[in-house]
C-alpha cells in the first residue's frame, strides 16, 4: 500500500497532501477494526518510508504485540527498489505474504501477472 495512490509521471510525491493520506489512513484503520471484530489476522505489505511509517503508527510494528503480519520494504519503483536496509528487490515479500496467509489457514495468492 502506498500513502498516496497517484502521482504525476516522473514526479515522485507530486500528489502528496492532496487527500490520499487521509484516505489511506482510514483504510488501514477500517481493515484493523474489521479484523478485530472478525478475529481474522491481516497481512500488510508496506512499501516505502511514508507507507511504512504511517501504517506502523496506526497498527504498530512489533509482531509480538501486533496480531497482524507486517512486511515492510523500500518502494518497488526503480528509484527505490534497492534502497534502505530492507530493499524491495530480494525481499521475497510475496512469498512471505503467502507463507503467512497459509499459516493463517487462508489460500495463497497467485501473484503472477499475465501479459
pTM of the model: 0.77
C-alpha cell at 75: 518502494
pLDDT digits (tens, 9 = 90+) for 33-44: 898 899 889 998
At residue 64 the predicted structure's pLDDT band, cuts being 50, 70 and 90, is very low
Taking the C-alpha atoms of residue 13 and residue 111, their distance in angstroms, rounded to an integer, is 26
Residue in 74, 94, 97 with CA at minimum distance from that of residue 84? 74
CA distances from 51 to 103, 110, 114 (A): 25, 24, 27
pLDDT of residue 100: 96
Residue 62: CB atoms within 10 Å? 8
pLDDT, one tens digit per residue, over 2-49 is 777 888 888 878 888 888 888 988 888 898 889 889 988 999 888 888
The whole-number pLDDT of residue 61 equals 55
Crossing angle for the helix pair 20-38 and 49-59, to the nearest 10 degrees:
40
Amino acid at each position: 500500500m502506498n500513502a498516496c495512490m497517484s502521482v504525476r509521471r516522473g514526479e515522485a510525491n507530486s500528489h502528496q497532501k492532496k487527500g490520499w493520506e487521509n484516505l489511506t489512513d482510514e483504510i488501514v484503520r477500517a481493515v484493523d477494526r474489521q479484523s478485530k471484530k472478525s478475529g481474522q489476522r491481516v497481512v500488510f505489505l508496506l512499501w516505502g518510508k511514508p507507507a511504512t511509517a504511517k501504517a506502523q503508527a496506526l497498527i504498530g510494528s512489533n509482531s509480538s504485540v501486533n496480531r497482524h503480519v507486517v512486511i515492510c520494504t523500500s518502494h518497488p519503483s526503480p528509484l527505490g527498489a534497492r534502497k534502505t536496509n530492507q530493499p524491495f528487490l530480494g525481499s521475497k515479500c510475496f512469498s512471505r505474504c503467502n507463507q503467512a496467509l497459509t499459516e493463517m489457514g487462508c489460500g495463497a495468492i497467485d501473484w503472477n501477472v499475465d501479459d
